[in-house]
Amino acid sequence: MNRIRLLGQWLDDRLALGRLYEHTIGHRIPASSASWWYVFGSATLVCLIIQLVTGVCLALVYVPSPDDAYASLEYLDYEQPFGWYLRGLHYWGSNFMVALVTIHMVQIFLFGAYKYPRELTWMVGCALFLATIGMAFTGQTMRFDQDAYWGVEIIVSILGRLPGVGEYATHLLQGGPIVGAETLSRFFALHVFVIPGALIGLLVIHIRLVLVLGISEYPVAGKHVEPGAYRDDYEGVVEKTGIRLMPEGGGKDLVFGALVLLAIVLCAALIGPKIPNGPADPTLIQTVPRPDFYFLSLFAAFALMPPYLETVVIVYVMPLAIVLLFAVPFISRGPERHPSRRPGAVIAVTVVLLSLFTLAWEGVQSPWSPDMDAWSGVPVQPRFVRGRSPLAHAGATILQAKQCRNCHALDGAGGKRGPDLAGVATRLTEDQLIRQVLQGGGNMPAYGKHLAPHEVTALVAFLGTLHPENQPPARSAASSSSSPTGFPEPR
Amino acid sequence: MIPRLTLLCLVVASTFACDGLPGRPNPDDRYQRPEDVKDFGALYATNCSGCHGATGQLGPATPVGDPLYLALAAPEYLRTIIAGGVAGTAMPRFGQEAGGTLTPEQIAILASGLGARWSSREAEKLAAKAPGLVAPVGGAVPGHDGQVERGRGVYGQFCASCHGPDGRGGEKAGSIVHAAYLGLVSDQGLRTTTLVGRRDLGMPNWHDLGQRPMAPGEIGDVVAWMASHRAPAP
């Protein structure tokens, strides 16, 4: 016992551990900051640590070359004991890290914690946010499967549109004129050296700032932040009612951090890693590429945007949005911190989050991408086959063979690019159906040149049967032809 | 302190006892390049179910899952059709040499898998009595051999009760003489339907259509009669 104490004293004497404690996790914080709202930053740090540990382990097996990357992931998934679990931890750790850093930012924004004197803390935080997103993106690329491939293609085409530097930037990122072997090496270097290095450096500054400037106290409506008076005020509060971060103040951080760890461990064990969806190969067109969740909104935004807007958004809107994010402390300079006194801030957060979620939802559905296998792989449901005439049956096979089904669902099954055709006969008359098929329009190609007259007749006979039994098909007043159901057939 | 300890134990336990957990990737979900798929069920579902129905029946196209059909169709014949399609109809060419996506091996798996999945003993017994699935249809040209004339009679005897007095549709079934329909179906397609029926939709096979089974010649005749309603190719 005595020996250990002696050793401790010896170490403390040389390393000044006591003083280190005093200045770091032992420093005093306002009692009001020991709140459940203040746990997200430290939870993000927990994720980062998980990512570092699991990332180093993954790097032991992972081979950053296009031919072997995919195989090394399959090795981890199916051969190496617990390899899949390691991938699961890293995958879920990254999901949680992106989510938590975002929540952390929203909380800081809503609580006005970026205001004097913590402007720089906010800006470094924004840089950390971007670094995290960069890690997530380059990490997704490490799978080098089809999602990764298309993700890189998209980013490269975005960079390529930047005026002046576009060409150099894409070349630098791709390591050549096209996405290939060099590209993966570049992304690997970014993912394991460049961005983590930057991230840790920024994090040191971020934490240094937090320690020097103190953790903001819980906002109180009507209590103003006045540059000049604020610091003395804050010091007074900490002096009088302050508590030590550890062990008094940080209990909630510990509990929440443990919960996050548990959640990641459970997600990895129960849901598992993302299985790579086929090697990156532009000749495979069957799959619908879809990015990991944090990029779904961006993915959806670009898919839905009319093409002429894309360049405007890439060149002006996105850089402007990033500049605005960094400049928040200098734009919003009012003395109030409490959200109830800053309705503008609350509205801004609501609008941004709602649009991100809506876009992400669209991204999950991705109605704009045709379902390339539907024509041969999504059956015409039996209820659309029964009670139909031979001609309508032939029409249904044409609907499949001409790949209409890749864009059009029947009662939910099939592509979602065009309207569901299950009730189309109640909306369109026979003549309108013919016109739509021949002339297309509104994102639908014109099929006039690609269909023989028989095929059009059969198609329309089938489409004409697509109405609920108790609801008659649409008829134009002029049309005198008998039932477009084709059952029984006229003629 | 106790709850934290429990947490820690949970974490450690789940880290070391997890090789049987649901998160573990199932080798069956492993991505396969389309040309590496060797499983009949998967091949059929992605390539054929769209037109022929998920169970080989109740799709808009020929019920290739009908046991009688499978008892009659030799794997050789199926391979040829799958690889080369049926010209003039919606049945695509799947063979790689014909511009399709399936390898010869995959086509062989499909051809033998159909029978393995859906054939039945009973149907095989019935098939022993049946005329061949494939037979020269004879002249589909109107008037040839008097076949079409005979076919009209066969139609009246076996088919009119459902498809109407002149083939243009009746109470129980639709028209089989519509020029557009006939323009999209092959003579073999007509023969197959006449022989095998569409039992999934209420049309019996050649054996049960009328008072007695149809004779081999009668099948050829009625097909010729139907085909005679084709509009001349433009």
User: From residue B103, how far is each of A243, A403, B44 by CA, in Å?
Assistant: 73, 22, 14
**Residues A406, A381, B100: CA angle, nearest 5 degrees:** 45
List chain A residues with CB under 8 Å of B18. 82, 85, 269
Q: Which residue of A has its CA nearest to B199?
A: A386
Judge contact between A483 and A429, C-beta under 8 A.
no
B148-227 belongs to CATH 1.10.760.10: yes
Determine, for residues B175 and A457 on separate chains, whether the beta-carbon distance falls below 8 Å.
Answer: no
pLDDT of residue A478: 43
Residues A150-177: pLDDT tens digits?
Answer: 888 888 888 888 888 888 888 888 888 7
Q: Which of A73, A90, A311 is nearest to A184 (CA)?
A: A73
Q: Give me the residues paired with residue A145 across strands.
A: A279
Determine, for residues B184 and A376 on separate chains, whether the beta-carbon distance falls below 8 Å.
Answer: no
pLDDT higher at A476 or B174: B174
Determine, for residues A265 and B15 on separate chains, whether the beta-carbon distance falls below 8 Å.
Answer: yes
Q: Give me the residues paired with residue B74 across strands.
A: none
pLDDT of residue A365: 80
Nearest-angstrom CA–CA distance, B99 and B101: 7
Q: If you average pLDDT over residues B75-96, what whole number do you get?
A: 96
Q: Which of B183, B196, B170 is nearest to B227 (CA)?
A: B183
Instruction: With a cut of 60, say whether residue B144 has pLDDT above it.
Output: no
Instruction: With a cut of 80, say whether residue B95 has pLDDT above it.
Output: yes
Determine, for residues B25 and A84 on separate chains, whether the beta-carbon distance falls below 8 Å.
Answer: yes
3-class secondary structure, A413: strand
List chain B residues with CB under 8 Å of A488. 164, 168-171, 174-175
List chain B residues with CB under 8 Å of A389. 169, 173-175, 178, 181
pLDDT of residue A310: 85
Helix (H) or strand (E) holding A465: none
**Which tokens is A302 given?**
């670009």
User: From residue A226, how far is each of A107, A108, A218, A343, B119 by CA, in Å?
Assistant: 21, 18, 16, 20, 85
Hey, which residues 5-34 in chain B have their CB within 8 Å of chain A? 7, 10-11, 14-15, 18-19, 21-25, 27, 29-31, 33-34
Residues A183-231: pLDDT tens digits?
Answer: 899 999 999 999 999 999 999 999 999 999 999 999 999 888 888 889 9
Q: Does B211 touch chain A (CB under 8 A)?
A: no
pLDDT of residue A471: 81
pLDDT band at B141 (very low <50, low <70, confident <90, very high): very low
**Residues A478, A484, A486: CA angle, nearest 5 degrees:** 150
Instruction: With a cut of 60, say whether residue B194 has pLDDT above it.
Output: yes
Closest to A270 (Cβ–Cβ): which among B7, B23, B92? B23
**Which tokens is B93 given?**
């060419």
Nearest-angstrom CA–CA distance, A176 and A194: 19
Hey, which residues 379-418 in chain A have their CB within 8 Å of chain B? 379-380, 382, 385-386, 388-398, 400-401, 405
The C-alpha of B180 sits at a distance from chain A's nearest C-alpha, in angstroms, of 5
Q: What is the pTM of this model?
A: 0.79
Residues B54-64: pLDDT tens digits?
Answer: 999 999 999 99
**Which tokens is A156 given?**
């490269």
Nearest-angstrom CA–CA distance, A340 and B120: 74
For the B37-127 domain, the top CATH level (class) is: mainly alpha
- Scored b (16 or more CB within 10 A) or e, A143-178 reads bbbbbbbbbbbbbbebbbebeeebeebbeebbbeee
pLDDT higher at B118 or A315: B118
Hey, which residues 189-208 in chain B have their CB within 8 Å of chain A? 201
pLDDT of residue A157: 82
Burial of A217 (0-12, 13-18, 19+ CB in 10 A): buried
Q: Sort strands A28-29 and A243-244 into parallel, antiparallel or unpaired.
A: antiparallel
Q: If you average pLDDT over residues B15-21, what whole number do you get?
A: 62
pLDDT of residue A486: 43
Nearest-angstrom CA–CA distance, A371 and A351: 32
Which domains, from first to last, does chain A contain? 27-365 (1.20.810.10), 382-463 (1.10.760.10)
Using only C-alpha atoms, chain A has a radius of gyration, in whole angstroms, of 30
Q: Which of B173, B167, B172 is nearest to B155 (CA)?
A: B167
Using only C-alpha atoms, chain B has a radius of gyration, in whole angstroms, of 25
CA A58, A61, A64, A69 torsion-angle sign: negative
Nearest-angstrom CA–CA distance, A208 and A120: 11
Q: Per residue, what are the HEC states of A343-397? A: HHHHHHHHHHHHHHHHHHHHHHHCCCCCCCCHHHHCCCCHHHCCCCCHHHHHHHH
- Residues of chain B within CATH 1.10.760.10 domain(s) are 37-127, 148-227
pLDDT higher at B138 or A186: A186
Closest to A270 (Cβ–Cβ): which among B21, B61, B184? B21
Hey, which residues 36-95 in chain B have their CB within 8 Å of chain A? 45-51, 53-54, 58-61, 89-92
CA A63, A64, A67, A71 torsion-angle sign: positive
Instruction: With a cut of 60, say whether residue B143 has pLDDT above it.
Output: no
Determine, for residues B47 and A376 on separate chains, whether the beta-carbon distance falls below 8 Å.
Answer: yes
Per-residue pLDDT of chain A (491 residues; tens, 9 = 90+): 689 999 999 999 999 988 899 888 888 899 999 999 999 999 999 999 999 999 999 999 999 988 888 889 989 999 888 899 999 999 999 999 999 999 999 999 999 999 999 999 999 999 999 999 999 999 999 988 888 888 888 888 888 888 888 888 888 888 887 788 888 999 999 999 999 999 999 999 999 999 999 999 999 998 888 888 899 999 999 998 899 988 888 999 999 999 999 999 999 999 999 988 887 776 665 566 778 888 889 888 888 888 788 888 888 999 999 999 999 999 998 999 999 999 999 999 999 999 999 999 988 887 777 788 899 999 999 999 999 999 999 999 999 999 999 999 999 999 888 899 999 999 999 999 999 999 998 889 899 889 999 999 999 999 999 998 888 787 655 443 444 444 443 33
Q: Which of A430, A387, A467 is nearest to B174 (CA)?
A: A387
The C-alpha of B160 sits at a distance from chain A's nearest C-alpha, in angstroms, of 13
- Scored b (16 or more CB within 10 A) or e, B118-129 reads bbeeebeebbee
Q: If you average pLDDT over residues B171-180, what whole number do you get?
A: 95
Place of tokens 């570092």: A52
pLDDT of residue A480: 39
Cα-based torsion angle of the residue sequence A14, A19, A21, A24 in order, rounded to the nearest 10 degrees: -120
Place of tokens 């000049």: A228
